[in-house]
Amino acid sequence: MLSIIVAIARNGIIGSGNSLIWHISEDLRRFKAITSGHPVVMGRKTFESIGRALPGRTNVVITRQSSFLAEGCTVVHSLEEALALFPESEEVFVIGGGEIYAQALPRAQRFYLTEVDADYEGDTRFPDWDRSQWLLTEQEHHPHGEKFPSPFTFLTYARKPAR
C-alpha cells in the first residue's frame, strides 16, 4: 500500500533550495513514529537534502542518473521500480520531493499531512490534490509547537473507494 507523508504550508510550499523551510519538533517526531519500520521512497534531491539513509527504515532513492549511488539505500529509476521491491500489503511511504509526490498522489491510498498555517516562500510545491477523493480519519490541531510559532494540524486521510 502506498502512502504519502508531507508537511505543507498554507500556500502549498513544501521546500526551498532542497531543504525544509521550518523545523517543527512535533512533526519530526510524528514522521519518525509513522515511518519507522517501513520502507521510505524519496527522490534524489530529497535524499541529498537529508544527507544519509534514515535509520530503522528501508530507504529507496529514485533518480534518472544511471550511476548514482546512495550509501545504505536501494537506488531505482522509477516509482514503479521502487514499489515492485515490496509486497502490496506493505505500507510504503513516499517522503518527497515534489516530482515524486506528483507521481505517487494518484496511486496513494493513505495521506499523512501536516498543514502549517502560514505562508512561506519556496521553490517546491506539493501538487494540487482533490480533497473530495479523500476521507479524513484523524485530525490533531496544535496552536503552536515547542519552538515553532505558527499553528499546525496533523491530518490523516484514506482514499475513498472508487464508485
CATH of 24-159, one of 3.40.50.11900, 3.40.430.10, 3.40.50.2300, 3.10.20.600: 3.40.430.10
Is it the case that residue 77 has pLDDT exceeding 90? yes
pLDDT score for 20: 83
**Rounded CA separation 132/1 (Å):** 20
Per-residue pLDDT tens digits for 6-49: 999 999 999 998 888 899 999 999 999 999 999 999 999 999 99
Is it the case that residue 51 has pLDDT exceeding 80? yes
Cβ 152 vs Cβ 115: under 8 Å: yes
What is the bridge-based pairing of β-strands 13-15 and 134-142?
unpaired
Angle at 14 between CA 129 and CA 19, to 5 degrees: 150
Give pTM, 2 decimals: 0.95
Cβ 147 vs Cβ 29: under 8 Å: no
